[in-house]
Amino acid sequence: MTLWNSCSNVTERRLDYDVQGIDISHYQKNIDWGMVAEQGIDFAFVKATEGLTYRDSFFCKNWSQMEEQGITKGAYHFFRPTVSPYLQAYNFTQTVHLKVGDLPPVLDFEVIGSQHRIGIISNIQTWLSIVEEVYNIRPIIYTNQKLYRKYIQGNFDDYPIWIARYNEEVPDMPFEQTWAFWQYGDKGQLEGIEGNVDFNVFQGDLAALKSMTLSPADTISSYSYSDIKKYQL
């Protein structure tokens, strides 16, 4: 997730937050997760899917190696508002198999295409509802400050928010809603990762982060292609 540009300077780690993380995709290619874990990275989100059929070529490798290193892991789906949210949910749920201790699934909302506002909001809600039923945990919504205000604010107040804002100021959230994760820069540097990586923080301590993850009480349901039909009726 790197669509929002910042200055060309390297992103410095925000050590004023206790819980540090990154997000990655195939753009980072081969990652030495052992080295990453040694640098105080507590969590990482990895791209799993996009649209109707795309699956990130490095997802499986990253997913297993993150688990081996004890990094709390989460997976995200790059959402395309103009195509079927049912089939997008199917793409994600057939690719990502969550376990106890994993973070909730993430809907990555950063493009709108030619879809109108009401249609976008409806399609987002459809994807979120299906995915929540499958994993029995409420998904996280990732977006930027502008799209948050136009589409998310007031419509998805019960969902955890992961927001991109590339400056020194914390995300501007209205009323009682607050952010759970903040992506504050896209030009981070870590040993074990070639090139830039997005830096994130969590608003809370490690115990609070763990409380967001799947617990043994959560039951993940099976989800088949035929299940889509009940949502389309």
- Distinct helix (H) and strand (E) counts, the chain: 7, 9
**CB distance 198 to 2 below 8 Å:** yes
Residue 40 corresponds to which tokens in the numbers above?
A: 């105080």
Backbone angles phi, psi at 42, to 5 degrees: -90, -30
133 is catalytic: no
Assign 135 to helix, strand or coil. Answer: helix
Which of 18, 67, 110, 218 is the catalytic position?
A: 110
110 is catalytic: yes
Please choose, from the candidates 131, 130, 140, 141, the residue with its C-alpha nearest in 3D space to the C-alpha of residue 96.
Answer: 131
Distances (CA, A) of 161 to 120, 152, 194, 210, 220: 17, 9, 28, 16, 22
Compute the 3-state secondary structure of the chain and give helix, strand, coil in percent, each to the nearest 5: 30, 20, 50
Assign 47 to helix, strand or coil. Answer: strand
Catalytic machinery residues:
23, 110
